Amino acid sequence: MRRRTFIISGVSLLAGIMVPFGNIFAYRKDEENESIWLELLDYARWSPSPHNVQPWKIKIISPVEAHLYYDPSRVPIVVDNTSAFTIVGMAMFIECMRITALAKGYVIDAIHDKEPRLNPEGKELRFFAKLHLRQTDKKKDLDPQLIKERRTSRLQYDGKKVSPVIINKLSAIAAEYGHTFTCTADNNLVHDIVNLNNETELKRADEKPTMNEMSRWIRTTDKEAEEKKDGLWYRCLDVSGKMLHNFIYHHQRFRSGWKRMLTKKMLDKSMHGTANMAWITGPFRNRNDWVQAGAMLQRMWLTMTANNIYMHPLGTVVTTSYAKEELLKRISYNESKGELWFLIRIGHSNEPQKSYRLDVKDILIA
Ligand SMILES: Cc1cc2nc3c(=O)[nH]c(=O)nc-3n(C[C@H](O)[C@H](O)[C@H](O)COP(=O)(O)O)c2cc1C
């Protein structure tokens, strides 16, 4: 036994003599960097995405390079027909990695693929961007912990207005990216937008292609939510699993009559206490705009989290042409000054249910 220990330590000593010191350090650095990618992913996987589809996949190429792909089967192309919002989500994921990397002394350079829109066809993963890690002296600005704390709140809000100090902070972030953040506390306007959103959601749900796509991402039981670790869990939507199941799978019952009225009432009630509506306007025409918008949106959302503010995106109004026209009329906004691409209610609420995420191993490409 003793002899065996001696032989092993003798071999290690010899190896130590034969391997130059520089190589030992290089090896240690590599190991450290490999684990940095994993650590970045462990934060970035908490990034938000439309319907919680989490389309991202990562291949670690080297200690300083990783390739980001997307899964075409996770692109919800009916509700996001240009894939703009899924690209925004991919960019939010990169921004989460950037924020985490900066806290560890690195910046990430991203070189994007030229594909103008995401392609939802086929089974093969599709390339999105090359990511390079580079050391920096820059100081961290946002705490990565916020990435894990951030949530969407679809709960009732408490009726208090968001302070002008916070609104100014959000406006300043938008301005850095050439966008405008506008917030209203006008009671009638807030009420009208809630109503417009809820009516539009009901109308869109009557469309078969929308409903088919939604049914793929709805999680009506705890078991399904926990197993799949993606999609919209009924607890996050703050409705009963049974109600959600019936609404999606027996939708004909909700097309008219008392069930429809009741659903509208439920939707309206779920938004009680909303004191502020806000929207973002700016460049939103092509892939580069969507990538920039995603980075900005992530920073704005984390800034809300840092200030104990929740938000709830009201995407249906923006992605439904007749509803958007109505909104633009209501707020007297002309899009020649920049596209209105994001509408949210914003405020204070109880802590919402944390939604699931895929594990790091599910995101990694071997
Ligand atoms: C670009 C984008 C658009 C979104 N649009 C909507 C929306 O229209 N309605 C909604 O309820 N949630 C929307 N969400 C929120 C996502 O559904 C949510 O982030 C996801 O389910 C994960 O939940 P979490 O934010 O609580 O972690 C959107 C998120 C992103 C990133």
pLDDT of the residue at 92: 99
Which residues, 6+ apart, have CB-to-CB distance to 278 below 8 Å? 167, 170, 181, 182, 183, 184, 311, 343, 344, 345, 346
Given ligand 1 and candidates 93, 147, 152, 154, which is best to mutate, with the most ligand atoms within 8 Å of its CB?
A: 152
For residue 10, the CA-to-ligand 1 centroid distance in Å is 58
Query: pLDDT tens across 39-90, in order?
Result: 999 999 999 999 999 999 999 999 999 999 999 999 999 999 999 999 999 9
CA dihedral 252, 258, 263, 267 (to 10 degrees): 150
Is the pLDDT at 210 greater than 80, yes or no? yes
Is the pLDDT at 207 greater than 60, yes or no? yes
For residue 113, the CA-to-ligand 1 centroid distance in Å is 25
Looking at per-residue pLDDT, the higher value among 11 and 117 belongs to: 117
pLDDT of the residue at 94: 98
Domains located in the chain, CATH noted = 22-146+359-363 (3.40.109.10), 152-206+255-347 (3.40.109.10)
- CB of residue 281 inside a 6 A radius of ligand 1: no
Measure Cα distances from 225 to 32, 95, 352, 354, 360 in Å: 34, 26, 16, 11, 17
Query: pLDDT tens across 100-146, in order?
Result: 999 999 999 999 999 999 999 999 999 999 999 999 999 999 999 99
Query: pLDDT tens across 278-336, in order?
Result: 999 999 999 999 999 999 999 999 999 999 999 999 999 999 999 999 999 999 999 99
Mean pLDDT of the chain: 92
Is the pLDDT at 17 greater than 90, yes or no? no
Burial letters for 33-44: b for 16+ Cβ neighbours within 10 Å, e otherwise?
Answer: beebbebbbbbb
Phi-psi region of 51 (alpha: psi -120 to 50; beta: other; left: phi over 0): left
Is the pLDDT at 256 greater than 60, yes or no? yes
Which residue's CA is the nearest one to ligand 1's atom 15? 50
The ligand 1 atom at the shortest distance from the C-alpha of residue 49 is 31
For residue 32, the CA-to-ligand 1 centroid distance in Å is 33
- CB of residue 98 inside a 6 A radius of ligand 1: no
- Mean pLDDT over 187-215 rounds to 97
Is the pLDDT at 221 greater than 60, yes or no? yes
Is the pLDDT at 15 greater than 50, yes or no? no
For residue 195, the CA-to-ligand 1 centroid distance in Å is 19
> pLDDT band for position 21 (50/70/90)?
very low
CA 231 – CA 356 distance, rounded (Å): 8
pLDDT of the residue at 159: 98
For residue 154, the CA-to-ligand 1 centroid distance in Å is 10
For residue 110, the CA-to-ligand 1 centroid distance in Å is 24
> What predicted TM-score, i.e. pTM, was given to this entire model?
0.91
Which residues, 6+ apart, have CB-to-CB distance to 24 below 8 Å? 16
Which residue's CA is the nearest one to ligand 1's atom 4? 50
* DSSP calls for 271-339: TTT--EEEEEEE--SSHHHHHHHHHHHHHHHHHHHHTT-EEEE-HHHHHSHHHHHHHHHHTT--GGG-E
The ligand 1 atom at the shortest distance from the C-alpha of residue 47 is 27
pLDDT of the residue at 35: 87
Burial letters for 260-273: b for 16+ Cβ neighbours within 10 Å, e otherwise?
Answer: eeebbeebeebbee
pLDDT of the residue at 14: 33
Contact 306, 254 (CB under 8 A): no
Which residue's CA is the nearest one to ligand 1's atom 1? 85
Is the pLDDT at 28 greater than 90, yes or no? no
